[in-house]
């Protein structure tokens, strides 16, 4: 077989930029967590909680999350297809247009140009940029797959393709708006319809941007890191089809007890519970792939990140369906429990897998051995402890808050005023902020390790035999 020259330059660039946006996301997250306990830290008009929180979420999802998707997919697709990227020029355009889009998003959100729709706050001109960006990315991935020199399409490619299609359908539909000016538009849908369309988008953005892509990474990087194949290809296929079929029914579990028609809520609830099966299909596929390899949890830091990541995916996909049940939602929805849930997914599952993927990529795209494995282990513990403090403090806070909101006296009156419940939250919000700081420290260690790798890491020549393996 002739030797393939892969395009690693573009992978390097996306790794670097995604990390930068990841730092922004976490830093802004830490800032807003302190604003919640100390309102004097709001500096209007630009630096208030209401304007910064969307920057935190969007930098996290689109800057860090999607940035890592770009970096890893552009790498994985070349390796799995044993061919160079279809178009280097298009990838280069995608890189700079991606950064332009993220910068434009951050600036416009600071200026207060927002649609208010969660995880889709950017106004319509940026929607146009996102669509161009995604089409450029999709064309490059799909064309590379079409011209591949490997007959089989490994499961990671499936998840990638589903994600390409899914994000496109979701984002376009939820973008529909009537522009008033360059910076202001009104949703094409009104009231209850808008809510239903939006949470169909909102929940499936989680599916198509923060579930399918990390699964593509997991299915690729776990076998690559352990050196043994995935436990069952068949199981991965069953999980794939059931996941992408069932996810789209579940958006309305964000709208339980609202004026959205009951039958939509009931379907959402039922499908959410059913989703445990395909989610755990992947979790078990991961665990069973470790048969005979568990010693690598001690010896191989990549495996540690990946297995903890998939474990948090498993926990996330049990807790999620639980919250999607009407009776539990009645109790817990709108409390601090919900951000705790989300952050287990983002800080635990998605970011753990992303860190592992980047650690795997760095030696290969920079040609240098990682500067320090002890530092990588230190990062592991910092982000793990930071995230657990973050989530546990708010789980407890959420249950307390829900209990107080619902507490009633024998005469049918409420036991607590709203302010009495809020005052109880402050200690937990402080603990959460500290958890965020610890997580941030982990990211600083991560970056230091990578910078030192590039500067001082020993040159490494990855064996030709390994190169040829998909």
Site for another protein in 260-279 (CB under 8 A): 260-261, 264, 267-268, 271
Among 103, 176, 245, 460, binds another protein (CB under 8 A): 245
Q: Is 151 in the site for another protein (CB under 8 A)?
A: yes
Among 103, 128, 178, 466, binds another protein (CB under 8 A): 178
Among 281, 339, 348, 386, binds another protein (CB under 8 A): 339
Q: Is 228 in the site for another protein (CB under 8 A)?
A: no
**Residue number with CB closer to another protein (44 or 459):** 44
**Residue number with CB closer to another protein (105 or 335):** 335
Distance separating alpha carbons of residues 392 and 387, to the nearest angstrom: 8
CB of 374 to another protein, least distance (A): 39
Q: Is 292 in the site for another protein (CB under 8 A)?
A: no
Using CB under 8 A, which residues numbered 422 to 461 contact another protein? 422-423, 426
**Residue number with CB closer to another protein (158 or 305):** 158
Q: Spell out a b/e string for 32-42, using b for 16 or more CB atoms within 10 Å of the CB, else e.
A: bbbbbeeeeeb
Among 419, 455, 464, 465, binds another protein (CB under 8 A): 419
Q: Is 153 in the site for another protein (CB under 8 A)?
A: yes
Distance separating alpha carbons of residues 233 and 239, to the nearest angstrom: 10
Instruction: Give CA 47 to chain center in angstroms.
Output: 25
Distance separating alpha carbons of residues 256 and 238, to the nearest angstrom: 29
CB of 241 to another protein, least distance (A): 6
Q: Is 20 in the site for another protein (CB under 8 A)?
A: no
Helices assigned H by DSSP within 61-154: 66-81, 88-110, 124-146
DSSP per position, 348-391: IIIHHHHHHHHHHHHHHHH-B--S-HHHHHHHHHHHHHHHHHHH
**Residue number with CB closer to another protein (185 or 357):** 185
Using CB under 8 A, which residues numbered 104 to 123 contact another protein? 112-118
CB of 191 to another protein, least distance (A): 3
Q: Is 186 in the site for another protein (CB under 8 A)?
A: yes
Among 1, 5, 409, 459, binds another protein (CB under 8 A): 409
Q: Using the structure block, give the residue that is written with the tokens 């755990």.
A: 280
Q: Using the structure block, give the residue that is written with the tokens 């994600």.
A: 163
Distance separating alpha carbons of residues 120 and 137, to the nearest angstrom: 19
CB of 162 to another protein, least distance (A): 5
Q: Is the dihedral of CA 278, 303, 462, 21 positive or negative?
A: positive
Among 15, 197, 269, 290, binds another protein (CB under 8 A): 197
Secondary element (H or E) of residue 56: helix 49-58
Phi (first) and psi of residue 42, to 5 degrees: -85, 125
Indicate the SS3 state at residue 414. Answer: strand
Residue count of the chain, please give it. 470
What are the structure tokens assigned to 294, written together? 């568990």
CB of 132 to another protein, least distance (A): 20
Among 100, 103, 176, 180, binds another protein (CB under 8 A): 180
**Which among 1-9, 61-69, 193-201, 460-468 is the span making contact with another protein, rule CB under 8 A?**
193-201
Angle between helices 233-246 and 155-175 (to 10 degrees): 10
CA end-to-end distance (rounded Å), the chain: 13
CB of 434 to another protein, least distance (A): 17
**Which among 16-24, 60-68, 190-198, 374-382 is the span making contact with another protein, rule CB under 8 A?**
190-198
CB within 8 A of 44, min separation 6: which ones?
Answer: none
Using CB under 8 A, which residues numbered 21 to 60 contact another protein? 35-39, 42, 44-45, 48-51, 53-54
Among 9, 100, 229, 241, binds another protein (CB under 8 A): 241
């Amino acid at each position: 077989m002739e030797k393939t020259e892969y395009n690693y330059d573009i992978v390097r660039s996306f790794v670097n930029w995604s990390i930068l946006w990841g730092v922004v996301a976490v830093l802004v997250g830490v800032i807003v967590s302190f604003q919640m306990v100390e309102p004097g830290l709001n500096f209007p008009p630009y630096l208030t909680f209401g304007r910064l929180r969307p920057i935190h979420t969007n930098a996290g999802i689109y800057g860090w999350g999607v940035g890592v998707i770009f970096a890893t997919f552009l790498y994985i697709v070349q390796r799995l297809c044993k061919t160079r990227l279809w178009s280097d020029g298009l990838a280069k355009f995608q890189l700079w247009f991606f950064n332009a889009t993220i910068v434009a998003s951050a600036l416009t959100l600071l200026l207060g140009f927002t649609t208010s729709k969660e995880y889709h706050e950017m106004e319509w001109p940026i929607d146009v940029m996102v669509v161009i960006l995604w089409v450029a990315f999709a064309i490059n991935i799909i064309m590379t797959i079409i011209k591949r020199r490997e007959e089989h399409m490994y499961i990671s490619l499936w998840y990638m393709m589903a994600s390409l299609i899914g994000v496109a359908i979701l984002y376009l539909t939820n973008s529909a708006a009537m522009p008033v000016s360059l910076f202001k538009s009104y949703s094409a849908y009104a009231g209850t319809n808008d809510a239903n369309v939006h949470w169909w988008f909102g929940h499936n953005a989680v599916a198509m941007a923060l579930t399918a892509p990390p699964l593509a990474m997991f299915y690729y990087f776990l076998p690559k890191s352990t050196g043994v194949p995935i436990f069952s290809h068949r199981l991965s296929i069953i999980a794939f089809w059931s996941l992408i079929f069932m996810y789209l029914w579940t958006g309305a579990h964000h709208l339980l007890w609202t004026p959205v028609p009951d039958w939509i809520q009931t379907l959402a609830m039922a499908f959410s519970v059913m989703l445990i099966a395909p989610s755990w299909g992947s979790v078990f596929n991961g665990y069973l792939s470790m048969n005979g390899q568990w010693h690598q949890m001690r010896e191989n830091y990549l495996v540690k990140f990946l297995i903890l990541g998939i474990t948090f995916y498993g926990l996330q996909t049990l807790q999620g369906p639980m919250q999607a049940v009407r009776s539990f939602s009645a109790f817990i929805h709108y409390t601090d429990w919900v951000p705790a849930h989300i952050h287990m997914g983002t800080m635990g599952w998605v970011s753990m897998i992303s860190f592992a993927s980047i650690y795997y990529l760095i030696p290969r795209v920079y040609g240098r051995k990682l500067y320090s494995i002890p530092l990588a282990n230190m990062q592991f513990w910092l982000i793990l402890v930071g995230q657990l403090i973050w989530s546990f403090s708010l789980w407890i806070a959420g249950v307390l808050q829900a209990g107080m909101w619902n507490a009633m006296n024998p005469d049918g009156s409420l036991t607590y005023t709203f302010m009495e419940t809020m005052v109880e939250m402050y200690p937990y919000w402080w603990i959460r902020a500290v958890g965020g700081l610890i997580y941030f420290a982990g990211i600083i260690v991560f970056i230091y390790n990578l910078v030192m790798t590039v500067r001082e890491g020993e040159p490494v020549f990855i064996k030709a035999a390994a190169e040829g393996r998909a």
